[in-house]
């Protein structure tokens, strides 16, 4: 009855975990490197985000400091960009790149960018999927109750769908940020290269998350199929 805990399909998850760990190390090391490279104009993360927002008519979007390292995010419900301690008042190319990226998300919402609207719709469902799908699936596997396993798979597929939709949202926010930083001449070419490397490293964490969710979904499907054949 406990055989599935040691099922060889667990090996599917190992490559994704390795890539996820590598991506986290990469983004941390890249941010650390370029957080020591200061912009010539001494523009901080806050001032970069504020400049980009105002240039796009988003004067109503506030910018606040939030504790933590790389905890930066845009809250569309409160219309607030929250920048971490290492970004808010840092004049580094890394900080400016991250802040500009979050401003890019605010612009996406303001312009009704389709993928981010779709992601917002999926978020509530995917949250339940991430919490309930795996427990429900394995309860169904233990009880050899196929409908419950199938329901678990369907729930988890919303997690994979969320990760898939997240990719174009994040890539587009970075592209908007880099284009704005270049066209406004807030950063010169060398500084822009550093900001791009930071954002590219961050993007890999989303790729790794998608890969993990897809391989996990594949594992659940394989387990369900094997259980069905044994019945």
Catalytic residue positions, numbered: 102
Query: Reduced to 3 states, what is the DSSP secondary structure of residue 66?
Result: strand
**CA distance readout (Å), 98 to 113, 127, 181:** 20, 25, 11
**CA distance readout (Å), 18 to 13, 31, 40, 75:** 9, 20, 37, 30
Q: What is the DSSP string of 200-211?
A: HHHHHHHHHHHH
Nearest-angstrom CA–CA distance, 171 and 194: 16
CA angle, residues 70, 73, 76, in degrees to nearest 5: 175
Q: In the structure encoding, which two tokens stand for residue 126, read together?
A: 């995917």
């Amino acid at each position: 009855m406990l055989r599935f805990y040691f099922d060889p399909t667990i090996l599917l998850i190992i490559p994704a975990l390795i890539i996820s760990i590598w991506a986290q190390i990469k983004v941390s090391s890249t941010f650390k490197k370029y957080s020591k490279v200061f912009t010539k104009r001494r523009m901080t993360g806050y001032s970069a985000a504020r400049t980009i927002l105002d240039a796009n008519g988003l004067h109503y979007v506030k910018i606040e400091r939030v504790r933590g390292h790389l905890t930066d995010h845009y809250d569309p419900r409160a219309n607030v960009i929250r920048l971490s301690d290492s970004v808010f008042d840092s004049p580094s190319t890394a900080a400016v790149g991250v802040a500009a990226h979050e401003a890019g998300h605010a612009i996406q919402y303001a312009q009704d960018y389709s993928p981010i609207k779709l992601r917002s719709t999926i978020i509530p469902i995917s949250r339940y999927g991430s919490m309930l799908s795996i427990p429900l699936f394995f309860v169904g596997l233990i009880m050899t109750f196929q409908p419950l396993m199938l329901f678990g798979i369907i729930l988890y597929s919303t997690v994979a769908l969320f990760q898939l939709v997240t990719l174009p949202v994040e890539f587009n926010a970075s592209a908007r940020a880099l284009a704005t930083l270049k066209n406004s001449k807030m950063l010169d070419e060398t500084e822009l290269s550093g900001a791009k490397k930071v954002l590219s490293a961050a993007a890999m964490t989303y790729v790794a998350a998608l890969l993990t969710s897809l391989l996990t979904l594949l594992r659940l499907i394989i387990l369900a199929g094997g259980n069905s054949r044994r019945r």
